[in-house]
Amino acid sequence: MKLTLYTDYSLRVLMYLGMNEDKKMQIDDIAEFYNISRNHLTKVVHHLAKLEYIKTVRGRGGGIMLNCRPEEINVGEVVRRTEDNFHMAECFSEGNECILTPICGLRFVLNDALKAYLAELDKHTLRDIIPKPILR
């Protein structure tokens, strides 16, 4: 299963904010750090704020920061709330026209794999995935 860029960027924003806990950060800093588009991040940040993972402060001295502690943000939940679907094959979609669907066992195997994938993500919080400082 491959995450969409939207979910990838959502996790990256949360990880960056987790690395800079209790500080207001700028979208430009995050975009530069990851070398990704500021425009894409703006949409991601807006959505993360709507989902209440982050809070935004406008104006002079404004920025974005986590809305709760990193150990309170579940990775599996973030993925579920930012992915647009989990259609691993045609038989998962509403417009399924595969002629094998009534007799095919692949759908059930893929569904079990998806459940296991999400169950593993559910075991982890943002705190678990924040990069650790490198000691020199």
The domains of the chain are located at 5-84+125-129
Mean pLDDT of 108-127: 93
Q: What's the confidence (pLDDT) of residue 6?
A: 96
- pTM for this one? 0.87
Spatial neighbors of 103 by CB under 8 A, at least 6 apart, are none
Q: What's the confidence (pLDDT) of residue 99?
A: 77
If pLDDT is split at 50, 70 and 90, which confidence band does 38 have?
Answer: very high
Q: Which two tokens stand for residue 63?
A: 């920025």
Cα(24)–Cα(45) distance, rounded to whole angstroms?
A: 13
Q: Which CATH architecture has domain 5-84+125-129?
A: Orthogonal Bundle (1.10)
Rg (CA), the chain: 18
SS (HEC) of 21-38: CCCCECHHHHHHHHCCCH
